Structure 1
Amino acid sequence: MLDVCLTKKLGDFRLEAAFKAPAGVTAIFGPSGAGKTLIAKMIAGLTRPDAGHVRLGDQALFDAAAGVDIPPERRGIGFIFQEHRLFPHYSVRGNLAYGAGRRGDGESRVAFDKVVDILGLAALLERRPRDLSGGERQRVAIGRAILSNPEMLIMDEPLSSLDDARKAEILPLIETLTSEFGLPTLYISHSIEEIARLAETLVLMDRGAMKAAGPARELLSRLDLIRYTGGDDAGTIIEATVRAYDPAHSLLEVETETGSRLYLTGAEMAAGATLRLRIRARDIALASAPPKELSILNYFEGAIRDHCTGAQGMEEVLLDVGFPLAARITRRSFEAMALKKGSRVYALVKSVTLSRL
């Protein structure tokens, strides 16, 4: 458990944040200038808070009232920056070995060969950083941090400088590494796609103020937080299990936690496999009667739990379809359908818009 309560003033900018992060991936999300990196640096000991505390498990890393301020190198935190920060005069093997030799206070939980294998670095071990692509350098930086045998990882916008292809390559590696080694991870990003894929706990920041903290799936479905959870890209995360695959139409049939069946396009997955899906609010259409003779394969039956006026003529709607589901329709349609709290509706979702995370 990471327990954080921090205050910091830099010129006219004031930051206040207090949250508790359980094991797993905790994401700090917000726009540029929200204070995300500042929080990470204070937790890691690279910047001293004005007040508050940082506790990791039973150990106080910082406590202003008690006069505790453990140096960064003794905090047991592996920090992965936006820039790879590799040693240019070391080979890949040398950079990884430097990480492995940083802590000598106990047997490492992380095997060198296993990290190399997961990150696909075996063929790169004798190269220098200048001979690597951006994605390869970042994989080495991640490996070096993990091999330092940390108590937790902090990843500060680790994919921000990479193109979409490299991001798609590294994101599953981050998932594998954090689950394989059981490392609590603080992941900082302004990409809602990355957050939706990785995070179990979410901390929302804006202009130095913490807007909310809690389970990611819960916060991403709250209407009052849509402006902080992706705006136009806001949506709902659901967990599903693969039931069957239709090779003739390249369609996966999956079942949600509440028993609803969905169809989505894409590559085959084995029956019984679990996956995380994201349904964007703007990709949902509402109907007041059961859908018939439509090209849309997916729909949920439920009721309107809540709604509020959104931006630019939109109405934000929270549905109860066995789980909270956020939808966005025009205010004109909302009024024309005479919708209100408690109205029974059908939420329609096109298969091609479902994002497989």
Structure 2
Amino acid sequence: MNTLAIDIQLTRGDFQLKVNCSLPASGITAIFGRSGCGKTSLLRAIAGLESGVTGTISFDQQHWLQPELNVPTHQRGIGYVFQEPGLFPHLSVKQNLEYGLKRATDRQQVFEFDQVVNWLGIESWLDKRPQSLSGGQRQRVAIGRALLSQPQLLLMDEPLSALDASSKREILPYLERLHSELNIPILYVSHSTDEVARLADHLLLMHQGEVVAQDTINSMLTRLDLPLAHSENAEAIIEATVSGVDGEYGLMQLAGSGGELSVACQSVDIGRQVRLRLLARDISVTLKRQTDSSILNVLPVEIDAIQQSDSTATQLLLRLRWGKDIVLARVTRKSVDALGLSVGQQIYAQVKSVAVLA
């Protein structure tokens, strides 16, 4: 499989970016971490927008940066979506999109104009000026312009950070659609766990200019040696397939690697794969399957690991294996002692809430 190989250094005053990693050339890789950790600097370095970068960058057997080589940004085949849309106010939406096409004169055309317009749902705005659109609408146009430049790699630098909550809800379904339909890799910078959970296939975690770890999204979220699993919103992201509908009770059945789950019905076709979010705080455990409970989803699991969750040692994190998937549960130390829980033990996880993300 082709990869994006990075081995670079960059010094800016007291800050030093030092990254050595290989990223998959498929799906969405989220570059995640607190503000100031170097996410945007890394993205700009990949794009060739940051001066003073040393080392090597290569993509799909193309060398973009070497000791005696620094390929200009416009020759790297990159589409870049910034935090602010940066549309030309004197041009219509259609003309802004066509500007992307003009930048792609020497590249193979992969994305057709009408195709991109349809993907992003912007057909009715083509004759409008950007200033007449909402923030979320302008960002959709900016994404369309980037795609029409025919990139082989799409870089997105916190594209939702400047939007209000309503605009974020409006644009996320379109990003999810691009995730499912695009055949080019996307690097997505964010410090929002919600965006990462909904969109990312792969997660690269940064801290103080360096890569802490990287892996698939669920592996990263459920690693007890990383801070993500110890946050207030600790979670697991798993894949399941819609297997049936219970019309009488308005429920949808989902087949996961370890069995079935039931959730409220949504407009999702049977056979479609969906992404589920399970929060650690919404999972309790029991030694025996409870039958006199309102909780519908009771999963047979094996305890994979037990670790302290907070500095007071009053709470513990359970890493639970359900089929091929891992979920987390946050419980009190008193409960662990009272139930006699130990690694390798077969128990049941009671899931109070399951969110279908896409």
Amino acid at match of 1:303: E
Cα-to-partner distance string for 1:149-179 (whole Å, 9 max, x where unaligned): 1111000111112233332332232232344
Name 1:324's counterpart in structure 2. Answer: 326
Shift in alpha-carbon separation, 1:202–1:309, aligned structure 2, 3 A: same
**1:24 counterpart = 2:23:** no
**1:54 counterpart = 2:54:** no
Aligned-pair distance for 1:321?
2.1
| 8 Å CA contact 2:44, 2:50 repeated in 1 | yes
Name 1:33's counterpart in structure 2. Answer: 36
Aligned-pair distance for 1:341?
1.3
| 8 Å CA contact 1:6, 1:16 repeated in 2 | yes
1:339-354 map, 5 Å: 339-350=341-352, 352-354=353-355
Secondary structure in 2 aligned to 1:232? coil
Name 2:69's counterpart in structure 1. Answer: 68
Aligned-pair distance for 1:338?
2.1
| 8 Å CA contact 1:279, 1:355 repeated in 2 | no
Name 2:242's counterpart in structure 1. Answer: 242
| 8 Å CA contact 1:138, 1:158 repeated in 2 | yes
**In 2: Cα distance, 1:240 partner to 1:178 partner:** 17
| 8 Å CA contact 2:245, 2:265 repeated in 1 | no
| 8 Å CA contact 1:287, 1:347 repeated in 2 | yes
Amino acid at match of 1:4: I
**Identity rate, percent:** 41
**In 2: Cα distance, 1:230 partner to 1:156 partner:** 26
Name 1:283's counterpart in structure 2. Answer: 282
Aligned-pair distance for 1:185?
0.6
| 8 Å CA contact 1:28, 1:203 repeated in 2 | yes
Give the TM-score taking structure 1 as reference length: 0.94
Name 2:307's counterpart in structure 1. Answer: 308
**In 1: Cα distance, 2:92 partner to 2:348 partner:** 58
Which segments of 5 or more consecutive residues in structure 2 lack a partner in the other structure?
Answer: none
Name 2:335's counterpart in structure 1. Answer: 333
Equivalent in 44, 48, 59 of residue 45 of structure 1 = 48
| 8 Å CA contact 2:218, 2:326 repeated in 1 | no
**In 2: Cα distance, 1:116 partner to 1:100 partner:** 13
Amino acid at match of 1:342: G
Which segments of 5 or more consecutive residues in structure 1 lack a partner in the other structure?
Answer: none
**1:271 counterpart = 2:286:** no
| 8 Å CA contact 2:79, 2:154 repeated in 1 | yes
Aligned-pair distance for 1:33?
1.3
Secondary structure in 1 aligned to 2:49? coil
Query: What value does the CA root-mean-square deviation take over the aligned residues?
Result: 1.7
| 8 Å CA contact 1:86, 1:141 repeated in 2 | yes
Aligned length: 352
Amino acid at match of 2:252: L
**In 1: Cα distance, 2:116 partner to 2:229 partner:** 33
| 8 Å CA contact 2:257, 2:322 repeated in 1 | no
| 8 Å CA contact 2:274, 2:356 repeated in 1 | no
**1:5 counterpart = 2:16:** no
| 8 Å CA contact 1:221, 1:235 repeated in 2 | yes
Give the TM-score taking structure 2 as reference length: 0.93
Aligned-pair distance for 1:222?
1.0
Q: Which segment drifts farther, 162-171 or 315-324?
A: 162-171
| 8 Å CA contact 1:30, 1:190 repeated in 2 | yes
Cα-to-partner distance string for 1:1-55 (whole Å, 9 max, x where unaligned): 2111222222222222222122111110111111111110100011035432111
Cα-to-partner distance string for 1:243-288 (whole Å, 9 max, x where unaligned): 2222343211111033x11011242422212101011111110111
